[in-house]
Structure 1
Amino acid sequence: MIIPVPVPPLKLLRLQPHLPYFSISQTTPLPPPHFLSPSLHKSTLFPRFKPTFNFFRVSKPEAPIATNEGGEYSSNVFSPELEDLSPNGVVYKKTLALVECSMFAALTGLVYFLSNSLSIENYFGCVFSLPIVISSMRWGIAAGRKTMVATTMLLLVLSGPVKALTYLLKHGIVGLTMGTLWRLGANWTVSILSCTTVRAIGAVGYVLISSFLLRENILSLITINIHASLTFMFTALGVHTIPSMNMIYAIFTTLVLLNSGCFIFLLHLLYSVFLTKLGMKASLRLPRWIERAI
Protein backbone atom coordinates (compact mmCIF):
# COMPACT_ATOMS: atom_id res chain seq x y z
CA MET A 1 0.00 0.00 0.00
CA ILE A 2 1.41 3.30 -1.02
CA ILE A 3 1.19 6.07 1.47
CA PRO A 4 1.35 9.55 -0.06
CA VAL A 5 3.95 11.87 1.47
CA PRO A 6 3.07 15.56 1.51
CA VAL A 7 5.51 17.67 -0.45
CA PRO A 8 6.09 21.27 0.69
CA PRO A 9 5.10 23.88 -1.85
CA LEU A 10 7.96 25.31 -3.88
CA LYS A 11 8.57 28.96 -3.52
CA LEU A 12 8.37 30.81 -6.77
CA LEU A 13 11.60 32.49 -7.74
CA ARG A 14 11.19 36.13 -8.45
CA LEU A 15 13.24 37.26 -11.45
CA GLN A 16 14.42 40.76 -10.90
CA PRO A 17 16.39 42.68 -13.54
CA HIS A 18 20.03 43.28 -12.75
CA LEU A 19 20.50 46.98 -12.65
CA PRO A 20 23.98 48.53 -12.64
CA TYR A 21 25.02 50.07 -9.44
CA PHE A 22 25.31 53.80 -9.51
CA SER A 23 24.88 56.57 -7.04
CA ILE A 24 23.94 60.21 -7.52
CA SER A 25 25.73 62.69 -5.37
CA GLN A 26 23.73 65.20 -3.47
CA THR A 27 25.65 68.01 -5.07
CA THR A 28 25.01 66.82 -8.64
CA PRO A 29 22.20 68.87 -10.23
CA LEU A 30 19.31 66.97 -11.64
CA PRO A 31 18.71 67.12 -15.38
CA PRO A 32 15.94 69.32 -16.75
CA PRO A 33 12.47 67.84 -16.78
CA HIS A 34 12.21 67.53 -20.53
CA PHE A 35 15.18 65.15 -20.56
CA LEU A 36 13.33 62.81 -18.22
CA SER A 37 10.18 62.65 -20.32
CA PRO A 38 9.90 59.64 -22.63
CA SER A 39 8.92 61.70 -25.65
CA LEU A 40 11.55 64.28 -26.47
CA HIS A 41 11.13 66.89 -29.12
CA LYS A 42 13.51 66.72 -32.07
CA SER A 43 14.53 70.34 -31.69
CA THR A 44 15.49 69.70 -28.07
CA LEU A 45 17.82 66.82 -28.83
CA PHE A 46 19.19 68.29 -32.07
CA PRO A 47 19.19 72.09 -31.93
CA ARG A 48 19.16 73.94 -35.20
CA PHE A 49 22.50 75.19 -36.51
CA LYS A 50 22.34 78.75 -37.79
CA PRO A 51 25.49 79.63 -39.72
CA THR A 52 26.75 83.18 -39.41
CA PHE A 53 28.94 84.87 -41.99
CA ASN A 54 31.22 87.76 -41.09
CA PHE A 55 31.95 89.82 -44.17
CA PHE A 56 35.19 91.79 -44.29
CA ARG A 57 34.85 95.52 -44.54
CA VAL A 58 37.54 98.10 -45.27
CA SER A 59 37.46 100.81 -42.64
CA LYS A 60 39.58 103.75 -41.72
CA PRO A 61 42.82 102.89 -39.95
CA GLU A 62 42.48 103.31 -36.24
CA ALA A 63 44.96 102.79 -33.48
CA PRO A 64 44.47 99.36 -31.88
CA ILE A 65 43.69 98.93 -28.23
CA ALA A 66 46.27 96.94 -26.29
CA THR A 67 47.30 96.51 -22.70
CA ASN A 68 50.56 97.65 -21.25
CA GLU A 69 52.56 96.07 -18.45
CA GLY A 70 50.22 97.39 -15.78
CA GLY A 71 47.17 95.87 -17.45
CA GLU A 72 45.72 99.23 -18.49
CA TYR A 73 44.27 99.74 -21.95
CA SER A 74 46.23 101.99 -24.25
CA SER A 75 45.47 103.10 -27.81
CA ASN A 76 48.87 104.66 -28.58
CA VAL A 77 50.25 101.47 -30.05
CA PHE A 78 51.68 101.46 -33.56
CA SER A 79 50.18 98.79 -35.77
CA PRO A 80 52.05 98.26 -39.07
CA GLU A 81 49.06 96.53 -40.64
CA LEU A 82 46.93 99.66 -40.25
CA GLU A 83 49.37 102.56 -40.38
CA ASP A 84 52.05 101.62 -42.93
CA LEU A 85 49.77 101.64 -45.98
CA SER A 86 48.19 104.98 -45.20
CA PRO A 87 49.43 108.12 -47.02
CA ASN A 88 51.28 109.18 -43.87
CA GLY A 89 52.64 105.73 -43.10
CA VAL A 90 56.26 104.66 -43.08
CA VAL A 91 55.96 102.12 -45.89
CA TYR A 92 54.17 104.59 -48.16
CA LYS A 93 56.83 107.26 -47.66
CA LYS A 94 59.70 104.84 -48.18
CA THR A 95 58.11 103.55 -51.37
CA LEU A 96 57.54 107.07 -52.66
CA ALA A 97 61.13 108.06 -51.87
CA LEU A 98 62.46 104.96 -53.64
CA VAL A 99 60.34 105.64 -56.73
CA GLU A 100 61.47 109.28 -56.91
CA CYS A 101 65.13 108.32 -56.49
CA SER A 102 64.80 105.75 -59.27
CA MET A 103 63.14 108.24 -61.60
CA PHE A 104 65.78 110.89 -60.90
CA ALA A 105 68.58 108.38 -61.47
CA ALA A 106 67.07 107.18 -64.75
CA LEU A 107 66.51 110.73 -66.01
CA THR A 108 70.00 111.91 -65.06
CA GLY A 109 71.66 108.87 -66.60
CA LEU A 110 69.72 109.28 -69.83
CA VAL A 111 70.48 113.01 -70.14
CA TYR A 112 74.17 112.48 -69.36
CA PHE A 113 74.42 109.63 -71.86
CA LEU A 114 72.75 111.65 -74.65
CA SER A 115 74.78 114.77 -73.91
CA ASN A 116 78.01 112.79 -74.15
CA SER A 117 76.89 111.09 -77.34
CA LEU A 118 75.96 114.46 -78.94
CA SER A 119 78.99 116.31 -77.46
CA ILE A 120 76.84 118.87 -75.66
CA GLU A 121 77.89 117.97 -72.13
CA ASN A 122 79.10 121.49 -71.38
CA TYR A 123 75.64 122.93 -71.97
CA PHE A 124 73.94 120.58 -69.48
CA GLY A 125 76.73 120.36 -66.92
CA CYS A 126 74.86 122.56 -64.45
CA VAL A 127 71.83 120.25 -64.12
CA PHE A 128 73.52 116.90 -63.48
CA SER A 129 73.82 117.53 -59.72
CA LEU A 130 70.28 118.89 -59.30
CA PRO A 131 68.43 115.53 -58.86
CA ILE A 132 70.76 114.55 -56.03
CA VAL A 133 70.15 117.88 -54.27
CA ILE A 134 66.37 117.54 -54.65
CA SER A 135 66.39 113.97 -53.28
CA SER A 136 68.52 115.04 -50.31
CA MET A 137 66.26 117.98 -49.53
CA ARG A 138 63.03 116.01 -49.82
CA TRP A 139 63.85 112.59 -48.34
CA GLY A 140 67.14 112.94 -46.51
CA ILE A 141 70.83 112.39 -47.09
CA ALA A 142 70.40 108.63 -47.62
CA ALA A 143 68.03 109.27 -50.54
CA GLY A 144 70.57 111.58 -52.19
CA ARG A 145 73.26 108.96 -51.80
CA LYS A 146 71.01 106.32 -53.35
CA THR A 147 70.31 108.59 -56.31
CA MET A 148 74.03 109.16 -56.88
CA VAL A 149 74.87 105.46 -56.66
CA ALA A 150 71.97 104.45 -58.92
CA THR A 151 72.96 107.00 -61.57
CA THR A 152 76.58 105.88 -61.46
CA MET A 153 75.64 102.23 -61.85
CA LEU A 154 73.31 103.06 -64.74
CA LEU A 155 76.07 104.97 -66.54
CA LEU A 156 78.45 102.10 -65.84
CA VAL A 157 76.12 99.80 -67.75
CA LEU A 158 75.33 102.25 -70.56
CA SER A 159 78.64 104.03 -71.16
CA GLY A 160 81.33 102.10 -69.33
CA PRO A 161 83.54 102.86 -66.32
CA VAL A 162 85.14 106.03 -67.74
CA LYS A 163 81.89 107.96 -68.11
CA ALA A 164 80.62 106.64 -64.80
CA LEU A 165 83.76 107.82 -62.96
CA THR A 166 83.60 111.15 -64.77
CA TYR A 167 80.06 111.73 -63.62
CA LEU A 168 80.87 110.61 -60.08
CA LEU A 169 83.92 112.88 -59.70
CA LYS A 170 82.61 115.99 -61.43
CA HIS A 171 78.90 115.97 -60.59
CA GLY A 172 77.84 113.16 -58.25
CA ILE A 173 79.97 113.91 -55.18
CA VAL A 174 79.42 117.66 -55.65
CA GLY A 175 75.64 117.20 -55.67
CA LEU A 176 75.76 114.94 -52.61
CA THR A 177 77.92 117.43 -50.70
CA MET A 178 75.66 120.35 -51.58
CA GLY A 179 72.49 118.42 -50.73
CA THR A 180 73.93 117.27 -47.41
CA LEU A 181 74.99 120.76 -46.35
CA TRP A 182 71.69 122.30 -47.42
CA ARG A 183 69.80 119.56 -45.61
CA LEU A 184 71.76 120.27 -42.42
CA GLY A 185 71.08 124.00 -42.72
CA ALA A 186 74.62 125.19 -43.41
CA ASN A 187 75.13 128.75 -44.65
CA TRP A 188 76.35 129.56 -48.13
CA THR A 189 79.93 130.31 -47.10
CA VAL A 190 80.51 126.82 -45.72
CA SER A 191 78.60 125.23 -48.58
CA ILE A 192 80.48 127.08 -51.34
CA LEU A 193 83.91 126.44 -49.79
CA SER A 194 83.20 122.73 -49.21
CA CYS A 195 81.71 122.16 -52.66
CA THR A 196 84.58 124.08 -54.28
CA THR A 197 87.11 121.82 -52.59
CA VAL A 198 85.21 118.70 -53.62
CA ARG A 199 84.89 119.95 -57.19
CA ALA A 200 88.62 120.77 -57.40
CA ILE A 201 89.61 117.34 -56.05
CA GLY A 202 87.23 115.72 -58.51
CA ALA A 203 88.75 117.69 -61.41
CA VAL A 204 92.28 116.61 -60.44
CA GLY A 205 91.09 113.03 -60.05
CA TYR A 206 89.51 113.18 -63.49
CA VAL A 207 92.84 114.38 -64.95
CA LEU A 208 94.71 111.54 -63.25
CA ILE A 209 92.24 108.93 -64.48
CA SER A 210 92.46 110.30 -68.01
CA SER A 211 96.26 110.18 -67.79
CA PHE A 212 96.13 106.55 -66.73
CA LEU A 213 93.78 105.59 -69.53
CA LEU A 214 95.64 107.55 -72.24
CA ARG A 215 99.09 106.42 -71.05
CA GLU A 216 100.14 110.05 -70.93
CA ASN A 217 100.96 112.39 -68.03
CA ILE A 218 98.39 115.11 -68.64
CA LEU A 219 99.19 116.88 -65.37
CA SER A 220 102.82 117.23 -66.43
CA LEU A 221 101.76 118.65 -69.79
CA ILE A 222 99.55 121.21 -68.04
CA THR A 223 102.38 122.38 -65.76
CA ILE A 224 104.80 122.58 -68.71
CA ASN A 225 102.36 124.75 -70.66
CA ILE A 226 101.85 127.03 -67.64
CA HIS A 227 105.63 127.33 -67.22
CA ALA A 228 106.11 128.22 -70.91
CA SER A 229 103.30 130.80 -70.80
CA LEU A 230 104.73 132.51 -67.71
CA THR A 231 108.23 132.56 -69.19
CA PHE A 232 106.91 134.20 -72.37
CA MET A 233 104.97 136.80 -70.34
CA PHE A 234 107.99 137.64 -68.18
CA THR A 235 110.18 137.99 -71.26
CA ALA A 236 107.65 140.28 -72.92
CA LEU A 237 107.53 142.46 -69.81
CA GLY A 238 111.31 142.64 -69.63
CA VAL A 239 111.59 140.56 -66.47
CA HIS A 240 114.48 138.17 -66.86
CA THR A 241 113.53 135.42 -64.45
CA ILE A 242 112.44 131.83 -64.64
CA PRO A 243 109.44 130.77 -62.50
CA SER A 244 110.04 127.85 -60.15
CA MET A 245 107.97 124.69 -60.12
CA ASN A 246 106.49 125.56 -56.73
CA MET A 247 105.16 128.74 -58.26
CA ILE A 248 103.75 126.75 -61.17
CA TYR A 249 101.96 124.37 -58.81
CA ALA A 250 100.58 127.27 -56.77
CA ILE A 251 99.24 128.96 -59.88
CA PHE A 252 97.73 125.69 -61.11
CA THR A 253 95.99 125.10 -57.77
CA THR A 254 94.70 128.68 -57.70
CA LEU A 255 93.26 128.42 -61.19
CA VAL A 256 91.54 125.12 -60.42
CA LEU A 257 90.02 126.50 -57.21
CA LEU A 258 88.93 129.70 -58.96
CA ASN A 259 87.26 127.77 -61.76
CA SER A 260 85.54 125.41 -59.33
CA GLY A 261 84.46 128.27 -57.07
CA CYS A 262 82.81 130.21 -59.88
CA PHE A 263 81.01 127.08 -61.07
CA ILE A 264 79.78 126.22 -57.56
CA PHE A 265 78.59 129.78 -56.95
CA LEU A 266 76.54 129.69 -60.15
CA LEU A 267 75.11 126.33 -59.10
CA HIS A 268 74.03 127.79 -55.76
CA LEU A 269 72.25 130.64 -57.48
CA LEU A 270 70.55 128.40 -60.02
CA TYR A 271 69.48 125.71 -57.57
CA SER A 272 68.16 128.18 -54.99
CA VAL A 273 65.93 129.83 -57.60
CA PHE A 274 64.77 126.46 -58.93
CA LEU A 275 63.97 125.00 -55.50
CA THR A 276 62.16 128.18 -54.53
CA LYS A 277 59.93 127.87 -57.58
CA LEU A 278 59.22 124.25 -56.55
CA GLY A 279 57.87 125.45 -53.19
CA MET A 280 60.84 124.36 -51.05
CA LYS A 281 61.89 127.82 -49.91
CA ALA A 282 61.12 126.98 -46.27
CA SER A 283 63.77 124.25 -46.32
CA LEU A 284 66.48 126.54 -47.69
CA ARG A 285 68.79 128.84 -45.81
CA LEU A 286 69.37 131.65 -48.26
CA PRO A 287 71.31 134.90 -47.84
CA ARG A 288 69.29 138.05 -47.41
CA TRP A 289 70.20 139.50 -50.79
CA ILE A 290 69.00 136.30 -52.49
CA GLU A 291 65.71 136.38 -50.56
CA ARG A 292 65.17 139.99 -51.54
CA ALA A 293 65.90 139.23 -55.19
CA ILE A 294 63.58 136.22 -55.24
Structure 2
Amino acid sequence: MSPFPSKDPRAMVETAFLASTTAMLFLINYYFPLGPLLRMLFPLPTALAYLRWNGRAAWMAMIVTALLLAILMGPTRSIQYIIPHGLVGVTLGYLWKRDFPWSGSLSIATVISSLGTAFQFVFLSILLGENLWTYSIVQITGFLNWLMQLFGSLEQPDFAAIQTFAIAAIVFSNFAYQLLVHLVAWIVLDRLGNPIPAPPKWIESLLA
Protein backbone atom coordinates (compact mmCIF):
# COMPACT_ATOMS: atom_id res chain seq x y z
CA MET A 1 0.00 0.00 0.00
CA SER A 2 1.35 3.40 -0.93
CA PRO A 3 2.35 5.62 1.96
CA PHE A 4 -0.11 8.41 2.54
CA PRO A 5 -0.34 10.79 0.80
CA SER A 6 2.47 10.51 -1.75
CA LYS A 7 1.11 8.33 -4.58
CA ASP A 8 -2.52 7.45 -4.02
CA PRO A 9 -4.82 10.50 -3.99
CA ARG A 10 -7.64 8.35 -2.63
CA ALA A 11 -6.04 8.44 0.80
CA MET A 12 -6.18 12.22 0.91
CA VAL A 13 -9.74 12.35 -0.44
CA GLU A 14 -11.03 9.70 1.95
CA THR A 15 -9.27 11.28 4.90
CA ALA A 16 -10.83 14.66 4.11
CA PHE A 17 -14.25 13.04 3.72
CA LEU A 18 -13.96 11.15 7.01
CA ALA A 19 -12.80 14.29 8.80
CA SER A 20 -15.73 16.30 7.47
CA THR A 21 -18.10 13.48 8.46
CA THR A 22 -16.82 13.55 12.03
CA ALA A 23 -17.14 17.34 12.18
CA MET A 24 -20.69 17.13 10.86
CA LEU A 25 -21.63 14.50 13.46
CA PHE A 26 -20.15 16.64 16.22
CA LEU A 27 -21.95 19.73 14.95
CA ILE A 28 -25.33 17.99 14.66
CA ASN A 29 -24.97 16.45 18.11
CA TYR A 30 -24.21 19.86 19.61
CA TYR A 31 -27.32 21.55 18.22
CA PHE A 32 -29.60 18.50 18.27
CA PRO A 33 -28.31 16.32 21.12
CA LEU A 34 -29.47 12.74 20.75
CA GLY A 35 -27.69 11.25 23.76
CA PRO A 36 -25.25 8.46 22.88
CA LEU A 37 -26.81 7.90 19.44
CA LEU A 38 -24.33 10.13 17.61
CA ARG A 39 -21.60 10.25 20.26
CA MET A 40 -20.79 6.60 19.74
CA LEU A 41 -19.93 7.43 16.12
CA PHE A 42 -17.39 10.15 16.97
CA PRO A 43 -14.25 7.93 17.04
CA LEU A 44 -15.22 5.71 14.10
CA PRO A 45 -14.26 7.83 11.06
CA THR A 46 -10.75 8.34 12.46
CA ALA A 47 -10.45 4.64 13.25
CA LEU A 48 -11.69 3.84 9.74
CA ALA A 49 -8.96 6.05 8.26
CA TYR A 50 -6.41 3.96 10.14
CA LEU A 51 -7.97 0.68 9.01
CA ARG A 52 -8.18 1.71 5.36
CA TRP A 53 -4.78 3.38 5.18
CA ASN A 54 -2.36 3.89 8.05
CA GLY A 55 -1.60 5.82 11.20
CA ARG A 56 -0.67 8.99 9.36
CA ALA A 57 -4.07 9.08 7.68
CA ALA A 58 -5.77 8.66 11.05
CA TRP A 59 -3.77 11.48 12.64
CA MET A 60 -4.49 13.70 9.65
CA ALA A 61 -8.21 12.91 9.91
CA MET A 62 -8.17 13.88 13.58
CA ILE A 63 -6.24 17.11 12.93
CA VAL A 64 -8.46 18.16 10.01
CA THR A 65 -11.56 17.44 12.09
CA ALA A 66 -10.17 19.57 14.91
CA LEU A 67 -9.44 22.42 12.50
CA LEU A 68 -12.94 22.24 11.03
CA LEU A 69 -14.51 22.29 14.49
CA ALA A 70 -12.29 25.20 15.52
CA ILE A 71 -13.60 27.17 12.54
CA LEU A 72 -17.24 26.12 12.92
CA MET A 73 -17.61 26.00 16.70
CA GLY A 74 -14.51 27.55 18.22
CA PRO A 75 -11.33 26.13 19.75
CA THR A 76 -13.10 24.91 22.89
CA ARG A 77 -15.18 22.35 21.01
CA SER A 78 -12.17 21.43 18.93
CA ILE A 79 -10.19 20.54 22.05
CA GLN A 80 -13.16 18.65 23.45
CA TYR A 81 -13.22 16.56 20.29
CA ILE A 82 -9.51 15.77 20.35
CA ILE A 83 -9.64 14.70 24.00
CA PRO A 84 -10.96 12.07 24.15
CA HIS A 85 -12.76 11.21 20.87
CA GLY A 86 -9.94 11.90 18.44
CA LEU A 87 -7.34 10.07 20.52
CA VAL A 88 -9.71 7.16 21.06
CA GLY A 89 -10.32 6.93 17.31
CA VAL A 90 -6.61 6.77 16.49
CA THR A 91 -5.99 4.25 19.27
CA LEU A 92 -8.86 1.99 18.24
CA GLY A 93 -7.71 2.08 14.63
CA TYR A 94 -4.23 1.04 15.73
CA LEU A 95 -5.53 -1.78 17.92
CA TRP A 96 -8.12 -3.08 15.46
CA LYS A 97 -5.66 -3.12 12.58
CA ARG A 98 -3.42 -5.35 14.70
CA ASP A 99 -6.34 -7.64 15.64
CA PHE A 100 -6.31 -6.83 19.33
CA PRO A 101 -9.04 -8.74 21.18
CA TRP A 102 -11.97 -6.80 22.57
CA SER A 103 -10.70 -7.20 26.11
CA GLY A 104 -7.57 -5.25 25.23
CA SER A 105 -9.10 -2.57 23.01
CA LEU A 106 -12.03 -2.02 25.39
CA SER A 107 -9.72 -1.65 28.38
CA ILE A 108 -7.34 0.76 26.65
CA ALA A 109 -10.16 2.83 25.15
CA THR A 110 -11.90 3.01 28.54
CA VAL A 111 -8.71 4.27 30.20
CA ILE A 112 -8.19 6.94 27.53
CA SER A 113 -11.84 7.97 27.66
CA SER A 114 -11.81 8.15 31.47
CA LEU A 115 -8.67 10.27 31.44
CA GLY A 116 -10.38 12.40 28.82
CA THR A 117 -13.31 12.91 31.17
CA ALA A 118 -10.90 14.02 33.89
CA PHE A 119 -9.34 16.45 31.42
CA GLN A 120 -12.79 17.79 30.56
CA PHE A 121 -13.43 18.52 34.24
CA VAL A 122 -10.17 20.45 34.52
CA PHE A 123 -10.56 22.20 31.18
CA LEU A 124 -14.14 23.34 31.74
CA SER A 125 -13.39 24.32 35.33
CA ILE A 126 -10.66 26.66 34.08
CA LEU A 127 -12.93 28.13 31.42
CA LEU A 128 -15.87 28.64 33.78
CA GLY A 129 -13.82 29.68 36.80
CA GLU A 130 -15.57 27.09 38.97
CA ASN A 131 -14.54 23.71 40.32
CA LEU A 132 -16.89 21.37 38.47
CA TRP A 133 -15.54 18.34 40.32
CA THR A 134 -16.62 19.85 43.64
CA TYR A 135 -20.03 20.62 42.18
CA SER A 136 -20.33 17.02 40.96
CA ILE A 137 -19.32 15.69 44.38
CA VAL A 138 -22.04 17.81 46.00
CA GLN A 139 -24.62 16.39 43.61
CA ILE A 140 -23.44 12.82 44.19
CA THR A 141 -23.49 13.37 47.95
CA GLY A 142 -27.12 14.46 47.74
CA PHE A 143 -27.95 11.43 45.62
CA LEU A 144 -26.24 9.00 48.02
CA ASN A 145 -27.95 10.61 51.02
CA TRP A 146 -31.32 10.20 49.31
CA LEU A 147 -30.49 6.60 48.40
CA MET A 148 -29.46 5.71 51.96
CA GLN A 149 -32.57 7.35 53.41
CA LEU A 150 -34.65 5.39 50.94
CA PHE A 151 -33.31 2.19 52.49
CA GLY A 152 -33.86 3.47 56.02
CA SER A 153 -30.28 4.45 56.86
CA LEU A 154 -29.48 7.80 58.46
CA GLU A 155 -25.71 7.44 58.15
CA GLN A 156 -23.80 9.99 56.13
CA PRO A 157 -21.44 8.59 53.47
CA ASP A 158 -17.84 9.58 54.11
CA PHE A 159 -15.86 11.67 51.67
CA ALA A 160 -13.64 8.80 50.51
CA ALA A 161 -16.68 6.68 49.65
CA ILE A 162 -18.20 9.54 47.67
CA GLN A 163 -14.98 10.10 45.72
CA THR A 164 -14.69 6.38 45.02
CA PHE A 165 -18.29 6.23 43.85
CA ALA A 166 -17.75 9.21 41.53
CA ILE A 167 -14.61 7.74 39.97
CA ALA A 168 -16.24 4.32 39.60
CA ALA A 169 -19.25 5.93 37.93
CA ILE A 170 -16.98 7.73 35.44
CA VAL A 171 -15.06 4.56 34.60
CA PHE A 172 -18.24 2.50 34.26
CA SER A 173 -19.96 5.06 32.03
CA ASN A 174 -16.90 5.24 29.80
CA PHE A 175 -16.71 1.46 29.63
CA ALA A 176 -20.38 1.29 28.60
CA TYR A 177 -19.77 3.99 26.00
CA GLN A 178 -16.75 2.19 24.54
CA LEU A 179 -18.70 -1.06 24.45
CA LEU A 180 -21.33 0.71 22.33
CA VAL A 181 -18.58 2.08 20.09
CA HIS A 182 -17.19 -1.42 19.61
CA LEU A 183 -20.60 -2.88 18.83
CA VAL A 184 -21.39 -0.20 16.27
CA ALA A 185 -17.94 -0.57 14.71
CA TRP A 186 -18.35 -4.34 14.52
CA ILE A 187 -21.64 -3.95 12.67
CA VAL A 188 -20.88 -0.93 10.47
CA LEU A 189 -17.21 -1.33 9.57
CA ASP A 190 -17.72 -4.93 8.51
CA ARG A 191 -20.26 -3.73 5.94
CA LEU A 192 -17.76 -1.14 4.72
CA GLY A 193 -15.19 -3.85 4.05
CA ASN A 194 -12.96 -3.03 7.02
CA PRO A 195 -13.98 -5.48 9.74
CA ILE A 196 -12.68 -5.30 13.28
CA PRO A 197 -11.87 -8.36 15.42
CA ALA A 198 -14.89 -10.44 16.36
CA PRO A 199 -16.42 -9.86 19.80
CA PRO A 200 -16.28 -12.45 22.58
CA LYS A 201 -18.60 -15.41 22.19
CA TRP A 202 -20.89 -14.28 25.01
CA ILE A 203 -21.56 -10.99 23.23
CA GLU A 204 -22.28 -12.78 19.96
CA SER A 205 -24.68 -15.10 21.76
CA LEU A 206 -26.51 -12.14 23.29
CA LEU A 207 -26.89 -10.50 19.89
CA ALA A 208 -27.82 -13.70 18.09
1:234 aligns with 2:153: no
Amino acid at match of 1:120: P
**CA shift in 2, pair 1:287/1:230, >3 Å:** closer
Which of residues 193, 199, 203 in structure 1 aligns to 2:107? 193
Q: Which residue of 2 aligns with 1:285?
A: 197
Q: Aligned partners of 1:216, 1:237: CA distance in 2, in Å?
A: 33
What's the counterpart of residue 35 of structure 1?
none
CA distance in 1, matches of 2:24, 2:146: 45
Match of 1:244 among 155, 158, 164: 158
Q: TM-score scaled by structure 2?
A: 0.87
Find the partner of 2:7 among 92, 95, 108: 92
1:209 CA drift (Å) = 1.4
Is the alpha carbon distance of 1:89 and 1:143 closer, same or farther for their aligned partners in structure 2, counting shifts above 3 Å? closer
Cα-Cα RMSD: 2.2
Q: Distance in 1 between matches of 2:76 and 2:2?
A: 41
Find out whether 1:179 has 2:114 as its counterpart.
Answer: no
Contact residue 112 and residue 121 of structure 1 kept, 8 A: no
Q: Is 1:174–1:195's contact at 8 Å kept on the other side of the alignment?
A: yes
Matching residue within 120, 129, 138 for 2:33: 120
CA distance in 1, matches of 2:132, 2:204: 43
Equivalents in 2 of 1:89, 1:171: separation in Å? Answer: 27
Spell out, residue by residue over 1:168-193, the C-alpha distance to the aligned partner (whole angstroms, 9 max, x if none). 12421111111111112211000001
- Name stretches of at least 5 consecutive residues in structure 1 with no aligned partner: 1-87
Is residue 152 of structure 2 the alignment partner of residue 152 of structure 1? Answer: no
The equivalent residue for 2:167 is: 253
Post-superposition shift, 1:89? 6.1
- Map Cα deviations across residues 185-223 of structure 1 (whole Å, 9 max, x no partner): 211000001111111111221122112111111110111
1:14-33 equivalent positions in 2, closer than 5 A: none
Shift of residue 134 of structure 1?
0.7
Task: Write the deviation string for residues 20-66 of structure 1: whole angstroms up to 9, x where unpaired.
Answer: xxxxxxxxxxxxxxxxxxxxxxxxxxxxxxxxxxxxxxxxxxxxxxx
Given the alignment, which residue of 122, 143, 153 partners 2:57?
Answer: 143
Counterpart in the other structure of 2:118: 204
SS of corresponding position for 1:97: helix
Q: Percent identity?
A: 25
Greater relative contact order structure (CA < 8 Å, 6+ sep): 2
Supply the distance in 2 between the matched residues of 1:257 and 1:245 (Cα, whole angstroms).
19
Q: Say how many residue pairs are matched.
A: 203
CA contact (8 A) 1:141 1:183 kept: no
CA contact (8 A) 1:137 1:182 kept: yes
Partner letter of residue 75 of structure 2?
P
2:110 touches 2:175 (CA, 8 Å); kept in 1?
Answer: yes
Higher helix share: 2
- Structure 2 vs 1, CA of residues 167 and 271 (structure 1 numbering), >3 Å: closer, same or farther? same
